[in-house]
Amino acid sequence: MLTKAVVFILFLLSVSRCGTSWQSYDAIYNLGDSISDTGNLCTGGCPSWLTMGQPPYGSSYFGRPTGRCSDGRVVVDFLAQFFGLPLLPPSKSKTNGTDLGKGANMAIIGATAMNLDFFLSHGLGSSIWNNGPLDTQIQWFQQLMPSICGGDCRSHLSKSLFILGEFGGNDYNAPIFGGKSLDEVYTYVPHIINKITSGVETLIGLGAVDVVVPGVLPIGCFPLYLTLYGSSNQSDYDGDGCLQRFNDLSRYHNRLLRQGICRLRSKYASVRLMYGDFYTQVAEMVRSPRSFGLEYGLNVCCGASGQGSYNYNNKARCGMSGSSACKDPENYLNWDGIHLTEAAYRSIAYGWLTGPYCVPAILH
């Protein structure tokens, strides 16, 4: 029986032999949060307090923690490998000889779309622990540009793939975990969408031509939310066992984001804007994991084995004392309660490259 990794490699080879009508890129530049961070908090060694910097993170591919919030690679890693590019180095890396002309990753764990002053104005300053929001990541990218492309940036960036997001997950985690009502959280969504679309426009102004803008994931399907906000009322859950009220928030965000992308498409006709549909694919993976080569949709691979309904305990999270990892992460969708496994990210990368989970698909 072919492994998922072998199937993916065969897919890459088959596509590469289908002629030259599909898109290729000279570099990939990524901005985002823990869904796509490749180690910006671990460039000088992972700090001891960072659970994602402890084993068994990274065990499936790298053999050690790298700062990625997974057992192995994340979506941008698979995209880079598909296009024959090196894995994206963290933008904060001081490694000599890193070729930023082939890609760099500004994403950082805990990142938000909104700046700190937004959260301070809503009494949520204590909920934001990492000052690496979207505006700051764009500044990091601009600071790297002389190293990336010298004096011919527009030409280089026009042949690069940009991924902006997902952003929004931490913008909603902060007020929800901070005790704000969902009614109030809904009022934040237009501001968050405006910040994301403004970030896209800034990248376009710098020379970006191909940009993937992912939506947020179905947070009501995360074991973290299911454990902290579980209900005895079955009507609070959808048919897949996810909390409907939180997924409604994710869908609202994604609906406004798609509308914002449509407005940008009308304004920038020469720019190719792609909506990365995390929500639909992850929801389908929860509903029918075997359709994606998985066995488990809601259970956590790395967590408090045997505890609760999902193997999740907030006081024994992956990387903490009292947690353990399953022996077969390739069969799981969920790695640690809020992030996905390498196997899931591989499938998402495939869905973005060829569709239908990226609109339009990256390859064309």
Per the listing, tokens 């080879």 go with 13
Task: Please tell me the predicted confidence (pLDDT) of residue 45.
Answer: 86
Compute mean pLDDT per 10 residues along the chain, 364 residues long, and list them: 50 44 86 97 89 96 97 98 96 74 96 97 89 95 93 94 98 97 98 98 98 98 97 96 98 98 98 98 98 97 91 95 96 98 98 97 93
Give the list of residues 6+ apart from residue 271 with CB closer than 8 angstroms, or none.
204, 208, 209, 210, 211, 264, 265
Residues that are catalytic: 34, 336, 339
Spatial distance between the Cα atoms of 77 and 65, rounded to a whole number of angstroms: 15
Task: Please tell me the predicted confidence (pLDDT) of residue 20.
Answer: 39
The answer to whether the bond into 86 is cis (omega within 30° of 0) is no
Can you name the residues that pair with 257 across neighbouring β-strands? Answer: none
Spatial distance between the Cα atoms of 177 and 351, rounded to a whole number of angstroms: 31
For domain 27-295+339-359, give the CATH number.
Answer: 3.40.50
Task: Please tell me the predicted confidence (pLDDT) of residue 17.
Answer: 38
Can you name the residues that pair with 332 across neighbouring β-strands? Answer: 296
Amino acid at 117: D
Domain boundaries, the chain: 27-295+339-359
Task: Please tell me the predicted confidence (pLDDT) of residue 44.
Answer: 83
Task: Please tell me the predicted confidence (pLDDT) of residue 18.
Answer: 42
Give me the DSSP letters along 171-237: HHHHHHHTT--HHHHHHHHHHHHHHHHHHHHHHHHHT--EEEEE----GGGSHHHHHHT--S-GGGB
Give the list of residues 6+ apart from residue 139 with CB closer than 8 angstroms, or none.
none
Overall pTM > 0.75:
yes
